[in-house]
A and B are shown apart, each in its own frame.
Chain A
Amino acid sequence: MSVIAPNFKFSEFVKSILDNVFWILLIFVLIGLPAVFIILFYIEMPVINGELLTPFLALTWLADPSRTLPILKAFMTTDLFKIAAFPGFGFAALIAAGTIFIERKMLAKLQLRVGPFYCGKFEGILQLMGDGLKLISKEIIIPAKADKPIFWAAPILFVATAAAFVALIPVAPGWVVADVDVGLIAVFAIIGFFPIITILSAWSSNSKFPFIGGIRALHQMVSFEIPLILSLLGVVILTGTLNLSEIVASQSNFPWIVFLPIGAIIFFITILAELERIPFDLPEAESEIVAGWLTEFSGMIYGLVQLGTYLKLYAFAALFVVLFLGGWSGPMIWPPFPEEIITDGIVMGPITAKIPGLPVFSQEMLNSVLWFIIKTVGVIFFILLPRGVFPRIRIDMLLSLGWYKLIGLAFVNIFIALGLLYAGVLGPGGIL
C-alpha cells in the first residue's frame, strides 16, 4: 500500500483515465473537428497531384498513402512550419535541450563527477524530461511586493526575443524564416532588447539580489554590444551585404575566419559575455548573489528563462557559424537518395510499395543542414568548455576588457578588412 496515496484504488485510476479519454473524444468530435474545418475553408490550400486540395479532401491522406507525402511536402513550404518547426523554434529548442544535457554531462566529466546518472537507466538521458516535468508542475511564487505585470511578461518576452533572433538564422539555402535584406542590423536590433528585459524583470521582483544581478547584466551587455557590432563590420565590408544568406553564399571557397581571425576571436569573447557564461557570469554569480537576476523566478517562469537563454546560445553559435565558419557550405558527404526506390518502389517479397513524392528533402539540403549542425555543435562545445575550466572574473576587469581591449582590437580587425579590400585581394572584384 502506497504511503503517498493511502486510498488509491487501481480500478478508480483506470476509470478516471477512461473518463478523461471519453470527454476528450466527445469534445474533439463536437467542437474540435468543426473548428478545424471552418479554419480550413479560410486558408489557402495547396495543389496535390494536379488537384486542388479542398477541405472535403483534407483528411484523405489518412486513407490514401499516395497523397501523404505530397501533402506533407506542401505543408513544409508554409510559413507556419518554418516558424514553428524546422529552421525556427522547434529545431532551435531541440538543439537547446540537447545543449543543456551535454553541458551537464560534459561538465561532470571535466570535474571528475558523474553528472545526471539515475534518471532513465542509461547515463541519465531522461534527466532533462524529469526536470521539465518538475518545472511545469511546480508552483509559481511571486514576491509579495513584486510588480506583477512586468514580472509575468519578462520571461515570455525573453523567449519571444530569443525566438525572433533564431528566426533570422539561415540553416540551409532557402531554409530561413525571415530572409531580410538587413539581417545583420536586425540581429543588432534584437540583441538590444535583452538588457531591457533583464533589467525590467530584475527591477520588478523588488528584491536585492535580482536587482544587483540586473544592474550587472545591464553593464555587461551594453558594454559588450559595441565590440560585438564592431567585430562583425569586417565581414560586412568584405562581403558588401547585410543579408545573412548572401554572407554564407560568399564563403563557398573559404570561411572568413581565415582572413579575419581577430574579428572571430572578439566575437567569440563577446558571445560569452552576452550569454552570461563563465568567465563572465557575474549577473548570475551563484556564490555571491544567490542566482542573480533569476533569484525570484520559480516554476515554469524559471523554465522559460532557461529556454530563452539556451535558444539565445544556439542563435549566437549559429551566427558565429554563418559569419565566420561558412554556414552550410562543405563537401558533399550525404549519400544520394537511392534511385530505384523512386522508379521501382520498395520491393518486400511479393509486395511492391510505390511511394510518390520521394525524396522529401533534396540531397543538397540534407548535406547543408548536416554541415550547419556539425559546425554549430562545435561552436556550442567551445562556448560550454570555459565553464569547466575558468573562474569568474571581477566586474572592473570585465568592463576594462570590453571598453579598452576589445574595442581597440575590433578597430584593428576593421583595418585588416579594409586593407584586404583596398589591396584588391578580397571583396567585390578581388583576386580570390
Chain B
Amino acid sequence: MADAIFLALSVITIGSAIAALEMRSLIYGSIALMGTLGGIAGFFLLLDSPFVAMFQLAVYVGSIAVLILFTVMLVKRELIFKKVEDKRRKFVGIALMLVFMVALGSIIMNSGIKTITTDEPAVDFRNIGADFLTYYWPALILMALILTGSVTGALILARREDVENDQRTD
C-alpha cells in the first residue's frame, strides 16, 4: 500500500516538475509547481512527519507559490518569455541535471542511509522544538536575525515617502 502511494507521489512530483518547466502557459506552470511542492509534502507524510508536511503546505504552497502566481499575473508575458528555443542549452541543462543527480545519489547512498532502522517511532515535533532551544540555539538566533534583517529591509524598500495623495484626509 505504502509502495503504491510512494510510486503515485513520485509520478505526481516528478511529472509536475517537468510540466512546470515545459508548460507554455506561465499560470499552468506555476500550478504544476504547486503540484510538485504538494507532492513533497506527501513524501513527508509518508515519512511519519506530518508537522513538516503541514509546514511544507502552509509555507511553500500557501505562500511561495502564491507569490510566484501573483508575480506571473502582474508581469507582461512577452518581456520574460521568448518562443525561440535554444536546443544546445536544453541538452546542456539535461546533462548538468544528470551529473548532479548521480553525484547527489552517490553521496546519499554512501552516507549510511541503508543502515537506518525504519521501525523506530516517529520523531515528536516537541523534541524538534526542544532541540532548537537547547543544542541548536545559535542556529536559531542566527536564523531569527537573518529573517528580521530581511523583513526590515523589505519594509524599507517598500516604503515610499515621495508619493503624496491629495485626496487623503488622514
Contacts and interface: CB of A to CB of B under 8 A. Distances in A.
Interface of A: 147, 150, 180-182, 185-186, 188-189, 191-193, 195-196, 199-200, 203, 215, 218, 222, 225, 240, 242
Interface residues of B, number: 19
B68 to A, nearest CB: 11
Interface stretch (B14-22, B47-55, B92-100, B105-113): B47-55
Q: Is the interface of B mostly helix, strand, loop or mixed?
A: helix
B12 interface: no
Interface in B61-108: 61-63, 65-66, 69-70, 73
A185 B70 contact: no
A186 B54 contact: yes
Contact of B61 (A196, A199, A218): A196
A2 B66 CA distance: 55
Interface of B: 27, 31, 34, 50-51, 54-55, 57-58, 61-63, 65-66, 69-70, 73, 125-126
A193 B61 contact: yes
Contacts, number: 60
A311 to B, nearest CB: 19
22 contacts: A147-B27, A182-B51, A182-B54, A185-B51, A185-B58, A186-B54, A188-B54, A188-B62, A189-B54, A189-B55, A189-B58, A189-B61, A191-B62, A193-B61, A195-B62, A196-B62, A196-B65, A199-B69, A200-B27, A200-B31, A218-B66, A222-B66
A192 B58 contact: yes
A196 B58 contact: no
A182 B57 contact: no
Contacts of B58: 185, 188-189, 192
A199 B51 contact: no
Given A180-B50, A182-B51, A192 B69 contact: no
A192 B62 contact: yes
A406 to B, nearest CB: 16
A186 B61 CA distance: 13
Contacts of A189: 54-55, 57-58, 61-62
